[in-house]
Each structure stands twice: as C-alpha cells, then as structure tokens.
Amino acid sequence: MAILDYTEQHWRDALGLGKGDEPAALILEGTWWREAATEARLSQLDNVKELAFPDMFIGDWNGLTIAYCCAYGAARAVEPAHVFAQLGTDVMIQIGTCGSLDQDATTGVVALPVECVARDGVSQHYGAGDSVHTDPGLVAAAERFFNRRGITTQRTRHLTWPSLFAQSDEMCMQWAREGIATIDMETSAVVAVADRFGARTVSLVSVWDQLFEGRTFNDPLPPEAAALLKRSNDAVFEVALEIAQAASADDTSGS
C-alpha cells in the first residue's frame, strides 16, 4: 500500500502511540542548524523522548504533550506533519526564519503568513490550490503573545518556494510585483497537509534575509539587527507553546 493510503492505525502502530496519546500540537522548525535548534527547543520540554522515526520527539509542557521536529524544506516537513495530523494532532505550528520582500518587514520582525502561495512542489499532491490559508484564530493568538513580548509582527502574503538557492533577482522582483511579502521553504506544504487531515496551522517565521536590499543569509548582519533576529528566533518557540496551550483551552477565537 502506498503511504498516502495508510490508515491512522498504521502510524499508531509504527510509533507506539495509543488512541488519545497523540500530541496536542506539532512544532516544526526549518533550519540548517538542526542539532543546535533541537537541543535548544527540547530543553524547554520535560520527559522528552525520540519516537521510532528519527528527529521526531515528544515532551511535556504545562500538562500538554508537544511534538517537535526540525525539518528543512517542504519535502521533509510534510512527513511529520502528515504523520501527526493523521493521528489527530489538531495544531501544526511552523517556526523558523524567512526572507522579506517588504521594506516594512525588517530583520527581527515575526512574519505571520495568512495567505501562502503554494509553489513548494508538494502541496498540490495534498489537494491544495494555488494558495492555502493559515488559521485566523491561531494567527490572532500569535499576535497577542508576541505583542506581550514587545516583538513586532506582520501579517503577510507569503510564498513557499522549494529552494533557498534557486532564487534570482528577477524572481524576487516578480514575487514583489505579485504582492508577496515573505518567503520560506515549508509553510504552505504544512498547511496543505493540515488541511487534508482537518488540523489547524499557523506559521511564525522571523525575518532574516532582506531580499529587497539584495541581502541574504550569507551577508553579515549589523549587531543591532543580529540581536533583534536572535530575540525573535528565541521567542517563536515560546509563543508556539503558548499557542498550543491556548488552542487546547479553546482560547483562539479572533481574526
């Protein structure tokens, strides 16, 4: 049987998770620095264990079971999203960094994609159209939690693209003409998977690259911008946990 046709019970048997043992939320992070990110994020959870599939962890936080996986790129991110969404995990939270095509979305701002243009190469196989949309209630909750920390957020029309490297100046100019403000490599694919299985999704991505200036991750940041990026990058996981708790308590109304 092909994987897309597997049943929920298949994944329960594979992971050893009984009915009701599925995590309340899955937090996915797209980064090259997998080892450092995983160590930092899991240090905030209790009773952490790695599941049968590598790099898929669960742990406890404030009475909730949280799953975490560092998954770089759409093709990898859909795998844990598929598994946990099919198990019944209701909330998928994408964190990481993104590039900006909007002069208002400067380094350290946390972009909250609302409409995600799905050009990641995977989403359409899960039934997505040209765009997918994150959950309005989860986006509103994210704004509240970041505002309490004094961190600037921006709702964006977002693009998920399959490669960080296969982006030319002409492509970036065309995307800006389309009204796209931010770009990453995972969000729309995670939303597409969640939509297929009836889960809700939010994306919290810190702006790093300022593509409208021609600056990529390979260009050094001024000290002030580097400090802002670190602050928001630290905060996205903490806010993701708070969103999971709010969703569990059904406190994510709003738009």
* Confidence label for 79 from pLDDT (cuts 50, 70 and 90): very high
Compute CA distances 55 → 42, 69, 237, whole Å: 11, 6, 17
Residues 170, 171, 177, 179, Cα dihedral to 10°: -150
- Going by the DSSP 8-state scheme, the letter that residue 219 receives in this structure is S
* Confidence label for 253 from pLDDT (cuts 50, 70 and 90): low
Is the pLDDT score of 64 beyond 70? yes
Q: What is the CATH number of domain 22-248?
A: 3.40.50.1580
C-alpha 112/C-alpha 121 separation (Å) is 21
By residue count, the chain amounts to 255
The model's pTM is 0.95
Domains in the chain: boundaries: 22-248
